[in-house]
A and B are shown apart, each in its own frame.
Chain A
């Protein structure tokens, strides 16, 4: 008897059924054949005949294979809303594979667009959408005082005010006040600088935190002359004490004084920003130290910011100690105070990447429509055999959605890389520590949303157009002649116009920002930053309590620094350019008195040593710099109150112009804003320095000798004849030889400081430019594609025209004209849109109008040029058409 199993197995080999299933089928079929064979034999058939007859019923193996394969498919499902999705997906993948270049292009464009959006969105999300890392952080607000009359948005909070607000408010659960305060930490290797905060004891309560170890400051410790105690940050605890629990009660030497550790802050204590330890503020209500504190408050449940502000204003107005009525409280969301500047920037960037994605979608839509024209027959056939319009649209959308999903996945990966790059651009100390940019649920939702949006944007129009196919005429026509309907062509043209206008808008915006950046770079800073290095030192009160000690130390330090080979000049200032603001108010002799409603502008007050103006490279317009005689000690033991004259000052040109619009300022006198203050003689006028940044406004400034106001913390400025980086190490040696207990910190070259001060402007200007160039490239590709398509569809017509006598240059011109009409329409709409959109940019611009004609003109010429080029290639192809060949191909 034949081996029926072997016969059946051979027949089924091509099916690749799964093992167990195959064995069963083989067994069952073999059994059937065997039965047949046995019966045939029983009826007297010969062995060969019986085998032939039995085998015959096995039928053609292909039929069996096909039937079995069908068996393997899932059973038929009733038609529901989702029936056929699998089929749609399968079709989508098949179509994608059949046109790999097209699919790659579409997915690539989507990935680019979605990647950009993902990255910028995650920055926006981290900055403005994610809650701050504190319990019920929406109730946290920033507290400050404003003084428009002094031309100051924020002045800080005075002791008297904070006591009154804290005691009398009815809208806050808690309020805390703080100021940054650095310490020289000794006893752990070389003396190092640690950044600390002096805080009121309510800080933990406001933030909703508990120490991980030990306790908060007591009321007594947070009062004037309280015990010297600190709370360590988690990071410092780890770094200095390896998280030892024995740290409580340990004494730490800070700036020469002993502080006892009473507790350790949790990791979450990231506000105030970048602090390594907290010490009690311990301020009394009557300490008249001016406005110097920052504040943070936790609102009561259900209290709005406006209510809180009104409440504080009420308290503020009845505070007897609040002598002037110039300052008033401001309450703002915590985030706004620290990130407000970035809100506009991130919105502009977000709109820009959205436009890039939009252009990508428009491009894809155009590509899809062109592609759809070659699928018209396929669609017509499917319609003819009963597919509904909705079904066709769904199939095309599924196809788009599949590509969008792939593009989205690639885009998120790209966006992640892009985000890492962006974060690397941000200088660490410019960004609050409490910011993080994780890929959270909001980010995921955003990515899914834009991916679906992109799919629908780029797929819906083409799908609608394609589903409107006229079945009859399509099937009658031969395949090659099928072309887009008039409506589809018009849609296509509309898409191209759209693209060009969006690209134009982005390019103009980018050009405006770049021009602004260029203008900023060319602002005269008022000093010479090259070859200058600066660093800070802070003399501890414990060993340098007397003004003469401080003066003497700085004098000998500077003397020795000047002896370092390569140092040209050295000086010190309380605040070099970009080094912070300390303001005061002045009266000027002979200036017209202020009216009741005039604002009294705050004057930047800088304390300097001899040699400073030389070292920083400031220019004298009149008079002379300070000499050692000017720098002699003129004040009492408090370091501030003048005891012996003569007092001198140098003023900036803005100061001189403000108070003495005519005549020479040298020899005139100024005094602090009090009637009993001593007069100070102006010995010189310097050119304005851009103290707050190249793109910031200039305030009047006055410079005083160190001997008149004796600071313990000063910035040392060294100008070298060599690379200034090389001067830091020998300077550190000099300092160490003078006093080992003093840390040298914030070492920067002036060039770096300037560059860093512009990082945000640089970053967003270049980012926007990159987006704009991508947009232009996409738009150019769009035009090229659409015109190429049009030319390829018109080859026949062009052939006829040329056969009838049209010259190639006429054909070229006519094709170019049709393309450039679209470009002109795009430029016109783009221009209109830009005139409105550029207003959004106005606060970011510098020295350039948002309607700068030169930039607009340049970009229009550039865009038109690129488009002309994209247009020219297919137009030349059209002009090169061989009429005979064109006609024969039909």
Chain B
């Protein structure tokens, strides 16, 4: 099942890469992040709340992302996460690592990635 697979991935760290990438350009709140993952993966990857938020807190604890409550007129306040400079470095490193990994997988399995 896709969710279980993703939960395993979460533990291995690839989910970190997903989250860091999604907030690279702009700050987003948790629900937005999970919706984006579901939408961009066309439903292949979905996050359980139980996995997403603890992961966000963990990344925040490591100083890679920073959460902040933001209030907008007429709405309830939400917690927005943005990338810290440290997070930016980690993202760059993880991206490079992932590319190498994907390239290696491609060479061995002959599967083409988009």
Interface residues of A (CB under 8 A from B): 24-25, 27-29, 31-33, 35-36, 57-61, 63-64, 67-68, 70-71, 75-76
- Within 8 Å by CB of B78, from A31, A33, A59, lies A31
The proximity string for B residues 35-74 relative to A, scoring 1 for CB distances below 8 Å and 0 otherwise, is 0000000000000111101110110011000000000000
The reply to whether A32 and B49 contact each other, CB–CB distance below 8 Å, is yes
- Chain A residues near B12: list those with CB within 8 A: none
List 6 other contacts, CB 8 Å, given A33-B49, A63-B50.
A28-B79, A31-B76, A57-B48, A64-B49, A68-B57, A76-B62
The reply to whether B54 and A68 contact each other, CB–CB distance below 8 Å, is yes
Q: How far is the CB of A66 from chain B (nearest CB, A)?
A: 8
CA distance A70 to B79 in the complex (A): 21
CA distance A292 to B81 in the complex (A): 92
CA distance A36 to B61 in the complex (A): 26
- Chain A residues near B34: list those with CB within 8 A: 32
The reply to whether A63 and B48 contact each other, CB–CB distance below 8 Å, is yes
Q: How far is the CB of B6 from chain A (nearest CB, A)?
A: 12
Q: How far is the CB of B114 from chain A (nearest CB, A)?
A: 27
Chain A, Cβ-Cβ closest to B33? A32
The reply to whether A31 and B54 contact each other, CB–CB distance below 8 Å, is no
CA distance A33 to B61 in the complex (A): 23
Interface residues of B (CB under 8 A from A): 29-31, 34, 48-51, 53-55, 57-58, 61-62, 76, 78-79
- Chain B residues near A71: list those with CB within 8 A: 54, 57-58, 61
- Chain B residues near A28: list those with CB within 8 A: 30, 53, 78-79
The reply to whether B31 and A25 contact each other, CB–CB distance below 8 Å, is no
Most chain A Cβ neighbours within 10 Å, of B49, B76, B78 = B49
CA distance A31 to B30 in the complex (A): 9
CA distance A59 to B50 in the complex (A): 6
Chain B, Cβ-Cβ closest to A74? B61
CA distance A58 to B50 in the complex (A): 6
- Chain B residues near A68: list those with CB within 8 A: 53-54, 57
- Within 8 Å by CB of B62, from A36, A57, A75, lies A75
Task: Knowing A31-B76, A31-B78, A32-B30 are in contact, say whether A60-B61 is a contact too (CB < 8 A).
Answer: no
- Chain B residues near A24: list those with CB within 8 A: 79
The reply to whether A60 and B30 contact each other, CB–CB distance below 8 Å, is no
CA distance A113 to B34 in the complex (A): 63
CA distance A36 to B52 in the complex (A): 14
| Ranked 5 nearest A-B pairs via Cβ | A67-B54, A59-B50, A64-B50, A59-B48, A71-B57
- Within 8 Å by CB of B51, from A35, A36, A61, A63, lies A63
- Chain A residues near B54: list those with CB within 8 A: 64, 67-68, 70-71
The reply to whether B31 and A35 contact each other, CB–CB distance below 8 Å, is yes
Task: Knowing A59-B48, A60-B50 are in contact, say whether A31-B55 is a contact too (CB < 8 A).
Answer: no
The reply to whether A58 and B49 contact each other, CB–CB distance below 8 Å, is yes
The reply to whether A67 and B79 contact each other, CB–CB distance below 8 Å, is no
CA distance A60 to B54 in the complex (A): 13
The reply to whether A31 and B51 contact each other, CB–CB distance below 8 Å, is no
Chain B, Cβ-Cβ closest to A68? B54
Chain B, Cβ-Cβ closest to A65? B50
The reply to whether A31 and B31 contact each other, CB–CB distance below 8 Å, is yes
Q: How far is the CB of B41 from chain A (nearest CB, A)?
A: 16
Q: How far is the CB of A76 from chain B (nearest CB, A)?
A: 8
- Chain B residues near A67: list those with CB within 8 A: 50-51, 53-55
CA distance A28 to B57 in the complex (A): 11
- Chain A residues near B49: list those with CB within 8 A: 29, 32-33, 57-59, 64
- Chain A residues near B61: list those with CB within 8 A: 71, 75
- Chain B residues near A31: list those with CB within 8 A: 29-31, 76, 78-79
Please name 9 pairs of A and B residues whose Cβ atoms are closer than 8 Å in the assembled complex, sorted by A: A25-B57, A29-B53, A31-B29, A32-B49, A36-B31, A64-B54, A67-B50, A71-B61, A75-B58
- Chain B residues near A29: list those with CB within 8 A: 49, 53
Chain A, Cβ-Cβ closest to B62? A75
Q: How far is the CB of A508 from chain B (nearest CB, A)?
A: 64
- Chain B residues near A27: list those with CB within 8 A: 79
Q: How far is the CB of A513 from chain B (nearest CB, A)?
A: 65
- Chain A residues near B53: list those with CB within 8 A: 25, 28-29, 32, 64, 67-68
- Chain A residues near B51: list those with CB within 8 A: 59, 63, 67
Chain B, Cβ-Cβ closest to A28? B79
Q: How far is the CB of A567 from chain B (nearest CB, A)?
A: 91
The reply to whether B50 and A70 contact each other, CB–CB distance below 8 Å, is no
Chain B, Cβ-Cβ closest to A76? B62
Q: How far is the CB of B79 from chain A (nearest CB, A)?
A: 5
Q: How far is the CB of A72 from chain B (nearest CB, A)?
A: 9
CA distance A25 to B49 in the complex (A): 12
Q: How far is the CB of A15 from chain B (nearest CB, A)?
A: 11
- Chain B residues near A59: list those with CB within 8 A: 48-51
Chain A, Cβ-Cβ closest to B47? A57
Chain A, Cβ-Cβ closest to B3? A59
The reply to whether A32 and B31 contact each other, CB–CB distance below 8 Å, is yes
Most chain B Cβ neighbours within 10 Å, of A59, A60, A68 = A59
- Chain B residues near A61: list those with CB within 8 A: 50
CA distance A354 to B78 in the complex (A): 67
Q: How far is the CB of B54 from chain A (nearest CB, A)?
A: 3
CA distance A61 to B51 in the complex (A): 11
CA distance A35 to B57 in the complex (A): 20
Chain B, Cβ-Cβ closest to A33? B49
Chain A, Cβ-Cβ closest to B10? A67
CA distance A443 to B43 in the complex (A): 70
Q: How far is the CB of B57 from chain A (nearest CB, A)?
A: 4
CA distance A57 to B30 in the complex (A): 13
CA distance A63 to B55 in the complex (A): 12
The reply to whether B31 and A70 contact each other, CB–CB distance below 8 Å, is no
CA distance A60 to B62 in the complex (A): 26
Q: How far is the CB of A69 from chain B (nearest CB, A)?
A: 9
Chain B, Cβ-Cβ closest to A67? B54
Q: How far is the CB of A1 from chain B (nearest CB, A)?
A: 12
Chain A, Cβ-Cβ closest to B78? A31
Chain A, Cβ-Cβ closest to B53? A29
Q: How far is the CB of A67 from chain B (nearest CB, A)?
A: 3
Chain B, Cβ-Cβ closest to A8? B49
- Chain A residues near B62: list those with CB within 8 A: 75-76
- Chain A residues near B57: list those with CB within 8 A: 25, 68, 71
Q: How far is the CB of A62 from chain B (nearest CB, A)?
A: 9
CA distance A59 to B48 in the complex (A): 6
CA distance A701 to B34 in the complex (A): 109
CA distance A725 to B77 in the complex (A): 92
CA distance A33 to B50 in the complex (A): 11
CA distance A13 to B29 in the complex (A): 24
Chain B, Cβ-Cβ closest to A24? B79
- Chain B residues near A60: list those with CB within 8 A: 50
Most chain A Cβ neighbours within 10 Å, of B34, B50, B57, B76 = B50
- Chain B residues near A70: list those with CB within 8 A: 54, 58
Chain A, Cβ-Cβ closest to B58? A71
CA distance A64 to B57 in the complex (A): 12
Q: How far is the CB of B38 from chain A (nearest CB, A)?
A: 10
Chain A, Cβ-Cβ closest to B57? A71
CA distance A31 to B29 in the complex (A): 10
CA distance A518 to B61 in the complex (A): 74
CA distance A64 to B78 in the complex (A): 20
CA distance A29 to B47 in the complex (A): 13
Q: How far is the CB of B87 from chain A (nearest CB, A)?
A: 13
Chain B, Cβ-Cβ closest to A36? B31
- Chain B residues near A36: list those with CB within 8 A: 31
Q: How far is the CB of B3 from chain A (nearest CB, A)?
A: 9
Q: How far is the CB of B26 from chain A (nearest CB, A)?
A: 18
Q: How far is the CB of A50 from chain B (nearest CB, A)?
A: 15
- Chain B residues near A57: list those with CB within 8 A: 48-49
CA distance A732 to B92 in the complex (A): 101
Q: How far is the CB of A505 from chain B (nearest CB, A)?
A: 59
- Chain B residues near A58: list those with CB within 8 A: 48-50
Q: How far is the CB of B96 from chain A (nearest CB, A)?
A: 20
- Chain A residues near B29: list those with CB within 8 A: 31
CA distance A80 to B57 in the complex (A): 25
Chain B, Cβ-Cβ closest to A56? B48
Chain B, Cβ-Cβ closest to A55? B49
Q: How far is the CB of B4 from chain A (nearest CB, A)?
A: 11
